[in-house]
């Protein structure tokens, strides 16, 4: 089975609008292989070739002076594209980061995120589905899931990736632990499951209420994975 490669991704920028001249100034990607940190990470600061407004500096604390010796995106874009190619990207508020990366790639004539065969999982959408009516910011999720964010004084791509990795693993731990237990079965266990059922065992059919409760639980799983969960295949 091919290893599952995921990248926890975050960026910092000069502003909010990639189509209006804002540029990327920091990129961070932490690689997970089969839900374990691989150590194959990429963290870069990038000179934006423009000014950084005071309101943006107030968010991430990065000044233009700090970036004077850093490369422009044209020097590192191919490295970022190669790192991301074919991976599932785990991003909080994915539309923002994907929009900036696509803009920067297109300026260089490089493939977009979609063209790099990446899939995108938005943990903001996951959180809104899992915790309807509740705050879904990264800080709020850290508080809800018991993730220590004491080192996070400002927004920064690297620290945000580290926090998001813990949040994502916590939000999906129940589903994946069940998947792992199923896929870890040996052939011997599978064979044992095919043995005919003793005739004296009584099969009790589920009640309508139990079926409705089961369907509601599957709906929650569907929302969490952004599609149809594995356990709905036979429903």
- Mean residue pLDDT across the chain: 84
The active-site residue, picked from 43, 60, 155, 200, is 155
> Would you say 14 and 50 are in contact if contact means Cβ atoms under 8 Å apart?
yes
Long-range contact set of residues 24-27: C-beta below 8 Å, sequence gap at least 24: 24/48, 24/73, 24/100, 24/101, 24/104, 25/52, 25/60, 25/62, 25/67, 26/60, 26/62, 26/156, 26/157, 26/158, 27/76, 27/80, 27/157
pLDDT of residue 211: 72
pLDDT value of residue 180: 45
Dist. CA 135–CA 164, nearest whole Å: 15
Which run of H or of E encompasses 27?
strand 24-33
Residue 153 DSSP code: S
Q: How confident is the model at residue 196 (pLDDT cuts 50, 70, 90)?
A: very low
Tokens of 3: 């290893």
**pTM of the full predicted structure?**
0.73
* Domain range annotation of the chain: 5-180
Summarize pLDDT for 117-166 with one digit per residue, the tens: 999 999 999 999 999 999 999 999 999 999 988 866 557 888 899 999 99
155 included as an active-site residue: yes
Topology, domain 5-180: Nucleotidyltransferase; domain 5 (3.30.420)
pLDDT of residue 234: 46
3-state secondary structure of 184: coil
């Amino acid at each position: 089975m091919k290893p599952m490669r995921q990248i926890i991704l975050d960026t910092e920028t000069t502003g909010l609008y990639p189509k209006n001249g804002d540029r990327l100034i920091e990129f961070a990607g932490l690689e997970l292989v089969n839900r374990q940190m691989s150590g194959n990470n990429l963290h870069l600061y990038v000179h934006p070739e423009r000014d950084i407004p005071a309101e943006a500096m107030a968010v991430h604390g990065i000044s233009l002076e700090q970036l004077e010796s850093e490369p422009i995106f044209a020097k590192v874009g191919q490295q970022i594209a190669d790192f991301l190619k074919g991976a599932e990207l785990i991003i909080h508020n994915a539309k923002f980061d994907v929009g900036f990366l696509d803009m920067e790639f297109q300026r260089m004539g490089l493939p977009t995120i979609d063209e790099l065969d990446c899939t995108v999982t938005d943990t903001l959408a996951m959180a809104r589905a899992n915790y309807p009516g509740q705050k879904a910011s990264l800080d709020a999720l850290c508080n809800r899931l018991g993730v220590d964010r004491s080192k996070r004084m400002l927004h920064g791509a690297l620290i945000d990736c580290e926090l998001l990795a813990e949040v994502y693993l916590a939000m999906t731990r129940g589903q994946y632990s069940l998947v792992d237990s199923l896929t870890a079965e040996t052939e011997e266990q599978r064979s044992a499951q095919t043995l005919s059922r003793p005739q004296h065992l009584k099969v009790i059919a589920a009640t309508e209420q139990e079926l409705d409760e089961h369907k509601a639980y599957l709906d929650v799983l569907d929302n969490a994975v952004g599609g149809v969960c594995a356990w709905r295949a036979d429903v």
